[in-house]
Structure 1
Amino acid sequence: MSIAVLGIDLGKNSCNVVGLDLDGRVVLRRRKRRETVLAFGEKLPACVVAMEACCGAHHMGRTLAAQGHTVRLMSPEYVRPYVKAQKNDDRDAEAIAEAATRPAMRFVTLKSQAQLDMQTLHRVRDQLVGERTALMNQIRAVLLERGYIVPQGRAKLAACLASLTDEAAVPALSARMRVLVAEVWERWQDLDKRIAALDAEFAETARSDEHARRLTTIPGIGALNATALVAAIGDVATFARGRDLAAWLGHVPRQLTTGGRPRLVGITKRGRKYLRKSLIRGARAALPTLRQSETRLGQRLRGLLSRAHIKTAVVALAAKLARIVWALLRHGRTYEATAVAV
């Protein structure tokens, strides 16, 4: 039995395995547990191992790559067209093996353990920020029902919570609600400390990592965005050889060329939502400074703001920053603002 391509449909406990020979014929169909698949890979001669880029794929991919196999991870949406009728796990594995043989197929690079750890920290921070926002909205609603309107802004809400302990200042608030507000305020401070600790860790990583440090020279790309981008990229050399950053990351506006002029046609919702959100937030923060600068980017933003809404300019700037990220990683350079010729 000569296996050229091994397709694995990953599951939580067991996996379906389908092997193809050099002519594309199915020569193996089995259902194995995860540890059995790894043991089977040790006995198998070096071949192409294909999997969908899902939970557990990177760990198994690194293990199989260490055994001498060529690992190819694919997005599940690219595998779906190769699934035959009456979908099941066995036919999914066959479709994965067949899709891996296509010359135009796009593959996901394997991520290291450090990159996966960084992505996990970003997910934890995003969850903590969501919990803090929900807590703020909840306490605002509680106070509004008692006729106490808090000004907009996190800092103003934090300042107002200190005065709620005074019964004479806020007589509409009962004693039980004062205790509840104190508990909410304590929980809020704990969330602030945990978020600040993660931000400090991201800043330290951005200073120590060469690629992240290079990205922080871009306006609107701080330590948070830089570490998230480097963690999502995978292998930087493979990423830099890609043609289109927007198609690879799938979080920036699509750009068409009509009559020789580029035109943005809207944001695609495919790809990583967290990266798309982070880039747009970074662009929104950098826009006021960049629009006043005497650089080519500032000149372009001023012209765009004169004919488009500010939110459109923010999204366009996010797309520009994403392309700058790709250029810096590809050429190994730092960001240099180009001044406008007088």
Structure 2
Amino acid sequence: MKLTAVGVDVAKRVFQLHWVEPETGEIVSKQIKRAAFLEHFVNRAPCLIGMEACGGAQHWARRLNEMGHQVRLMPGKVVKAFVSGNKNDVADARAIWTAVQQSSVKSVAVKSEAQQAVLALHRMRQQLIKFRTMQSNGLRGLLTEYGEVMAVGRSALNKAMTDVLPA
């Protein structure tokens, strides 16, 4: 059975859909509000739905998969190659529709909520490490202005700080 391909441009309030009706060949370009998005697909025959892998796409992909649809998330760079004309929601949905039908286009795996939670924790940890490094480097730079030069590295900074700070 050949699935109907649907291109979805995900946005904050309104999603743009693009597909071709298999029976009539009619090209359909439709705007759907976020609240009605899942309603639109709940009673449809299984579709091949393409979306750009962006914020929120993993959530929508999981929900659509639960309904029996097949979802392919594609990186933005890949989709951009298929955009013709000015960049807008309609053109993006059409480009996604074109890209999802190409078997050579690489897609991003749809992650479970547990996988996404682990990735979020790793991302937050990396941000905290980056922030800590920025603070250490800033402090090291400020103390250099007062004649206190310290070696690079967190442990060296911690050791030197005990010598610099009054008891």
Give the TM-score, by structure 2 length. 0.90
Q: 1:199-214, aligned counterparts within 5 Å?
A: none
Is contact 1:72–1:100 with CA below 8 Å preserved after alignment?
yes
Q: Which residue of 2 aligns with 1:11?
A: 11
| CA deviation profile, 1:185-244 (whole Å, cap 9, x unmatched) | xxxxxxxxxxxxxxxxxxxxxxxxxxxxxxxxxxxxxxxxxxxxxxxxxxxxxxxxxxxx
Q: CA deviation at 1:23?
A: 8.7
Does residue 103 in structure 1 map to residue 103 in structure 2? yes
Does residue 67 in structure 1 map to residue 87 in structure 2? no
Distance across 2 between alignment mates of 1:20 and 1:39 = 19
The one-letter code sitting in structure 2 at the alignment partner of 1:69 is: H
Distance across 1 between alignment mates of 2:113 and 2:23 = 36
Is contact 2:6–2:19 with CA below 8 Å preserved after alignment?
yes
Q: CA deviation at 1:88?
A: 1.5
Q: Secondary structure at the match of 1:48?
A: strand
Is contact 1:6–1:97 with CA below 8 Å preserved after alignment?
yes
The one-letter code sitting in structure 1 at the alignment partner of 2:123 is: R
Q: Which residue of 1 aligns with 2:161?
A: 161
Q: Secondary structure at the match of 2:148?
A: coil
Structure 1 residues 124 and 111: alpha-carbon distance in aligned structure 2, compared to 1, 3 A threshold? same
Q: Which residue of 2 aligns with 1:117?
A: 117
Q: 1:1-342, aligned counterparts within 5 Å?
A: 4-22=4-22, 25-166=25-166
Q: Which residue of 2 aligns with 1:197?
A: none
| CA deviation profile, 1:235-293 (whole Å, cap 9, x unmatched) | xxxxxxxxxxxxxxxxxxxxxxxxxxxxxxxxxxxxxxxxxxxxxxxxxxxxxxxxxxx
Is contact 2:21–2:28 with CA below 8 Å preserved after alignment?
no
Q: CA deviation at 1:87?
A: 2.4
Q: CA deviation at 1:163?
A: 2.3
Is contact 1:20–1:97 with CA below 8 Å preserved after alignment?
no
Distance across 1 between alignment mates of 2:151 and 2:48 = 60
Structure number with higher strand proportion: 2
Structure 1 residues 106 and 153: alpha-carbon distance in aligned structure 2, compared to 1, 3 A threshold? closer
Q: Which has the larger radius of gyration?
A: 1
| CA deviation profile, 1:95-143 (whole Å, cap 9, x unmatched) | 1111111122212220111111111111111111111111111111121
Q: Which residue of 2 aligns with 1:306?
A: none
Instruction: Give the fraction of aligned pairs with identical amino acids, expressed as a percent.
Output: 32
Structure number with higher helix proportion: 1
Distance across 1 between alignment mates of 2:24 and 2:162 = 71
Structure 1 residues 33 and 144: alpha-carbon distance in aligned structure 2, compared to 1, 3 A threshold? same
The one-letter code sitting in structure 1 at the alignment partner of 2:146 is: R
Q: Secondary structure at the match of 1:55?
A: coil
The one-letter code sitting in structure 1 at the alignment partner of 2:165 is: T
Q: CA deviation at 1:86?
A: 2.2
Distance across 2 between alignment mates of 1:165 and 1:35 = 57
Distance across 1 between alignment mates of 2:161 and 2:36 = 57
Is contact 1:5–1:21 with CA below 8 Å preserved after alignment?
no
Distance across 1 between alignment mates of 2:73 and 2:144 = 51
Aligned length: 165
The one-letter code sitting in structure 2 at the alignment partner of 1:88 is: N
Distance across 1 between alignment mates of 2:53 and 2:23 = 25
Structure 1 residues 5 and 105: alpha-carbon distance in aligned structure 2, compared to 1, 3 A threshold? same
Q: CA deviation at 1:24?
A: 10
Ranges in structure 1 where 5+ consecutive residues have no aligned partner? 168-342
Q: Which residue of 2 aligns with 1:250?
A: none
Ranges in structure 2 where 5+ consecutive residues have no aligned partner? none
Q: CA deviation at 1:60?
A: 0.2
Structure 1 residues 140 and 121: alpha-carbon distance in aligned structure 2, compared to 1, 3 A threshold? same
